[in-house]
Amino acid sequence: MTGADIDSPTEITDTIEKPDRGPVGEALFDFKRWFLIDANRWLVVGVLAVGTFGLTVLVGTFGPVSVQQFLAKGISPAAALVELLKTIVSVTTIVLSINQLVLSPELGPVSDQRERLDDTMKLRRQSEGLLDETVSPLSPGQYLDDLVSALRDRARSLEEDVTGSPELESDVATFSRKLVADAENVNAELQDAKFGDFEAVAAVMDFDTSGKIRRLRRIRKEYSEQLDGDETEALVEMINALELFVTARGYLKTTYIRTEFINFSRALLYVGLPSLLVAFWASQMYDPTIFPGETLGVENRLWFVSAAATTALVPFATLISYISRLATVSQSTLFIGPFVAGSEHHEE
């Protein structure tokens, strides 16, 4: 086998642009991974809000325009808050429109619902053949866990079923051991994960299938003259099992994205009204003469304006928080078949 056949796992993190190597680059990459993938979305909203507040205070205090000039007339902060009111309404309207589009399949006629049910039941029946069970689990998390376990068991059997030249046995053994190791890692991650939480999705998304399918197809092609009927069938069944897993994972990933859009819409509704009210009240009550004096060396009026502007921008921070992860998850599985987005490999 050529060097191009070595598995190159396509993980969610592969969609994150990697900066230059070095301590600073590694730290930046770790932060980007935390921000885009690992962190709780409400925590990201909080970080963005705190950053906005701190940056506004710093600019107002140390910027090229003094605090006195920045707050002298009072009309500029009030006008800015009025514009932020429009932004809140626009963001909320756009997101709810997107949410309606994402959930539109739920609103189809009976024929569409029947077709969706038929497709789901077909997937379950095919899975039960792989799982050797009468009925597949109802829990999506347990279903994925069982599928990964079935792939692990088949990989172990494949190493015993396919024999021949030392090169063939070595390639099959390498493939099987790699798949078993990856499957065990995914099983460990799924053990305490709850479907609907990002951890369950990340675990199965990081299970590389494109490289494994391609490697099996290459083994089958290169050693076709050595393989008998049973060995060829074993390889085909392994490929079919991986393809079934890809289909099931894609379906459940789509379900997760819809669930996350629902959570996103609910979160935006939670923060939208308070932000509107605070921005409106602040724009109406602001006057250069209110909040005289300083606190910690900063004009009290600047504290007020910074807090009001930050609160008004919380819906936008919520948008950034949720969409950044949803976009990253979607980009990681742009191709459903054995392709790798952004791959730089040159195959012979």
Domain ranges of the chain: 29-103+267-332, 110-261
The mean pLDDT value for 169-180 works out to: 87
Contact 139, 124 (CB under 8 A): no
CA atoms within 13 A on the CB side of 95: 25
Under 8 Å between Cβ of 60 and 306: yes
Quick: pLDDT tens for 4-44: 343 444 455 555 555 556 676 677 777 887 888 778 889 99
Give per-residue pLDDT as tens, 90-102: 877 777 777 676 6
Query: What pLDDT is recorded for position 7?
Result: 43
CA 97 to chain centre: 21
* Cβ atoms 279, 81 nearer than 8 A: yes
- Residue-level length of the chain: 348
**Chain segment 223-239, per-residue pLDDT in tens:** 878 778 888 888 888 88
**CA–CA dist 249, 291 (Å, integer):** 56
Q: Compute how many other C-beta atoms are within 10 angstroms of the C-beta atom of residue 337.
A: 10
Quote the CA–CA distance of 8 and 339 in Å, as a whole number.
11
Q: Name residue 277's amino acid.
A: L
Query: How high is the pLDDT of residue 49?
Result: 92
Residue 343: pLDDT band with limits 50, 70, 90: very low
Minimum mean pLDDT range among 35-49, 59-73, 163-177, 287-301? 59-73
Burial per residue of 116-151, b for 16 or more beta-carbon CB atoms within 10 angstroms, e otherwise: eeeeeeebbebbeebbeeeebbeebbebbbbbbbbb
Does the pLDDT at position 109 exceed 70? no
Q: Alpha-carbon distance 120 to 117, whole Å?
A: 5
Contact status, residue 88 vs residue 276, Cβ threshold 8 Å: yes
Cα–Cα distances in Å, from 134 out to 30, 127, 130, 179? 44, 10, 11, 26
Average pLDDT on 240-251 reads: 83
**Cβ-Cβ contacts under 8 Å for 88 (sequence gap 6 or more):** 272, 275, 276, 279, 312, 315, 316
Any idea which fold 110-261 has?
A: Four Helix Bundle (Hemerythrin (Met), subunit A) (1.20.120)
